[in-house]
């Protein structure tokens, strides 16, 4: 390839992209030129043909943690049905919804996509139930807390690339840390004063202070868009899945909710997106109209009472809790033994920089290594580990053959 021609073409593309953002973005959008990284890139962002946040999205998609989305369940872990939502689909739905809102509000879609794709990387096997069990283990072992938001950031910043991290932008990492899709607000306004030092302080506190992530506010309007889109993506979709699995009847949705939002995922998404766009257009914040907000709160309340806390979903709770205890204890024993032939060494630690092990050993927090390992597992791999620990090993074929 003619390098001089390549340089000329790429330079024109970079200039054109810069002008496009100035010309088309809202004054409240986060431009690519505002990207902040902890470490300098081999090719500086300002000279890269890929805009900064577009580049971040590429790195996320090609990460090992992203690949593992494929076998992580969303809500209905114990139902054998190929048509219900898994984590990988939920993430795509969040991205699609958020980019739609972002496009209409003239925000940075590359930044929105990167945050959306990465926001649930730290979810453990069996979703929020698994997160509760891992959090309980952390508390019992005096290791602080477990928070999937912070764990998502940890994969991106500390664990990917064998412990080197992906060197993502502050804006993406902050959006992931602050996404908290369990908290509904009528108004979302970013904190544009945030620095990398403050972000790192917030990140650290998520591992030591219970529910600290609920206090974190995104630093960009794009981060706010992903935060509300997380709720929009699951609130109606979980209704559809619950109807498919015959956990609820569509007619059970409260009338005061359905008359405002409708009773299908399609109508719910359309009502919520339209309302946010109309009420937030050319504003430095996102807002939801009072009637839509009230209906949305009502639907969330219905989902928690009739779906998320439904006995048909929670019947296996004690068994699942026991699985997490067994898997954690066995891997911790392997780690403490120092036997390099055990799974936690051969299948996990062997691929990491020795500094990773040293960091937690010096602070007598080796259990965090086990927590990192478990949090990255798919449901299938977690089940295989548990089976291996409790079932007798087979030693060969039928002795009479």
pLDDT in tens, 85-130: 567 888 999 999 999 999 999 999 999 999 999 998 998 998 888 8
Average pLDDT over residues 76-83: 51
pLDDT the model gives residue 86: 67
pLDDT digits (tens, 9 = 90+) for 271-290: 999 999 999 999 999 999 99
- 397 pLDDT more than 60: no
Instruction: Specify whether 274 is located in the same domain as 307.
Output: yes
Per DSSP, helices labelled H in 170-316 are 170-177, 196-205, 221-235, 237-244, 255-261, 265-280, 290-303, 311-314
| Mean of the per-residue pLDDT values of the chain | 90
Contact 375, 124 (CB under 8 A): yes
Let me know: does 73 contact 380? Beta carbons within 8 Å: no
Q: How far apart are CA 118 and CA 87, in angstroms?
A: 11
Distance CA 288, CA 352 (A): 45
Question: Which domain-ending residue is among 264, 281, 314?
Answer: 314
Same domain, 352 and 295: no
Specify if 297 maps to a domain: yes
pLDDT at 311: 77
Find residue 286's DSSP bridge partners: 188
Whether the pLDDT of residue 58 is over 90: the answer is: yes
Percent helix / strand / coil, the chain, rounded to 5: 65, 0, 35
- Token pair recorded at residue 62: 């090609």
Residue 187 is classified by DSSP as: E
Same domain, 282 and 321: no
- Segment 351-359 long-range contacts (CB within 8 Å, at least 24 positions apart): 351/162, 352/159, 352/162, 352/163, 353/162, 353/163, 353/164, 355/163, 356/158, 356/159, 356/163
State the pLDDT at residue 115. 98
Task: Return all residues near 180 (Cβ < 8 A) that are at least 6 apart.
Answer: 149, 213, 214, 216, 227, 230
* Domain range for 364: 317-390
Q: What contacts 344, CB < 8 A, 6 or more positions away?
A: 331, 334, 335, 369, 370, 373
Of the candidates 334, 320, 296, the residue with the CA atom closest to the CA atom of residue 386 = 320
Q: Are 191 and 331 contained in the same domain?
A: no
Same-domain check for residues 197 and 326? no
Domain-located, residue 364: yes
pLDDT of residue 314: 63
pLDDT tens, position by position, 334-388 = 999 999 999 999 999 988 888 888 888 777 788 999 999 999 999 889 989 999 9
Residues 165, 276: one domain?
A: yes
Per-residue pLDDT tens digits for 126-178: 888 889 999 999 999 999 999 999 999 999 999 999 889 999 999 999 999 99
- Do 189 and 234 contact (CB within 8 A), yes or no? no
CATH of the domain at 138: 1.10.3210.10
Residues 202 and 345 in one domain: no
The last residue of one of the domains, among 295, 314, 333, is 314
Q: How far apart are CA 51 and CA 35, in angstroms?
A: 9
Structure confidence at residue 331 (pLDDT): 95
Last residue of a domain, one of 314, 343, 365: 314
Q: Structurally, how many domains does the chain consist of?
A: 2
Distance (Å, whole) CA 277 – CA 297:
19
pLDDT of residue 320: 86
Q: Is 325 within a domain?
A: yes
Are 137 and 207 in the same domain? yes
Contact by Cβ (8 Å): 276, 230: no
Residue 23 domain flag:
no
Which string of b and e fits 25-56 if b means at least 16 CB within 10 Å?
A: bbebbbebebbbbeeeeeeebeebebbbbbbb
233 belongs to a structural domain = yes
Residues 357, 296 share a domain = no
Same domain? 219 vs 356: no
Q: Does residue 206 sit in helix, strand or coil?
A: coil
Alpha helices of 25-77 — where are they, by DSSP H? 52-61, 64-67
Query: Does residue 232 belong to any structural domain of this protein?
Result: yes
Look at residue 15 and tell me if it is in a domain. no
Task: Encode pLDDT of 288-339 as tens digits.
Answer: 999 999 999 999 999 989 888 877 666 677 888 999 999 999 999 999 999 9
Quick one: 235 and 134 in the same domain?
yes
> Whole-prediction pTM value?
0.93
Both 287 and 352 in one domain: the answer is no
Is 1 within the bounds of a domain? no
Q: Quick one: pLDDT band at residue 242, thresholds 50, 70, 90?
A: confident
């Amino acid at each position: 390839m003619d390098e001089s021609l390549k340089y000329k073409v790429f330079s024109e593309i970079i200039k054109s992209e810069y002008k496009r953002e100035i010309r088309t973005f809202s004054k409240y959008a986060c431009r690519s030129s505002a990207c902040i990284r902890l470490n300098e890139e081999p090719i500086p962002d300002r000279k890269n043909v890929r805009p900064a946040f577009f580049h971040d999205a590429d790195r996320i998609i090609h990460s090992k943690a992203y690949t593992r989305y494929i076998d992580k369940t969303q809500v209905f872990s114990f139902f054998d049905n190929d048509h219900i939502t898994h984590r990988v689909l939920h993430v795509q739905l969040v991205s699609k919804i958020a980019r739609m809102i972002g496009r209409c509000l003239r925000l940075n879609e590359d930044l929105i996509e990167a945050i959306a794709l990465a926001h649930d990387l730290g979810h453990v096997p069996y979703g929020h139930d698994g997160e509760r069990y891992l959090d309980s283990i952390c508390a019992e072992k005096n290791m602080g807390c477990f928070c999937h938001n912070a764990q998502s950031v940890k994969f991106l910043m500390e664990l990917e690339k064998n412990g080197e991290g992906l060197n993502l932008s502050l804006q993406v990492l902050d959006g992931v840390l602050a996404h908290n899709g369990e908290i509904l607000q009528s108004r979302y306004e970013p904190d544009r004063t945030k620095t990398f030092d403050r972000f790192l302080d917030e990140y650290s506190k998520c591992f030591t202070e219970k529910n600290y992530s609920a206090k974190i506010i995104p630093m960009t309007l794009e981060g706010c868009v992903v935060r509300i889109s997380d709720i929009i993506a699951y609130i109606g979709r979980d209704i559809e899945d619950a109807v498919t699995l015959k956990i609820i009847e569509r007619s059970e949705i409260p009338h005061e909710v359905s008359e405002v939002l409708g009773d299908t995922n399609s109508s719910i998404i359309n009502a919520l997106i339209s309302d946010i766009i109309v009420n937030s257009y050319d504003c430095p914040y996102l807002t939801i109209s009072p009637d839509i907000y009230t209906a949305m709160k009502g639907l969330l309340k219905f989902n928690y009472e009739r779906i998320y806390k439904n006995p048909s979903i929670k019947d296996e709770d004690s068994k699942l809790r026991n699985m997490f205890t067994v898997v954690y204890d066995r891997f911790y024993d392997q780690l403490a033994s120092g036997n390099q032939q055990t799974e936690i060494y051969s299948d996990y630690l062997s691929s990491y920089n020795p500094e990773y092990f040293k960091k937690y050993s010096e602070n007598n927090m080796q259990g965090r290594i086990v927590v990192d390992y478990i949090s990255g597992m798919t449901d299938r791999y977690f089940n295989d580990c548990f089976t291996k620990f409790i079932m007798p090993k087979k030693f060969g074929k039928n002795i009479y053959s």
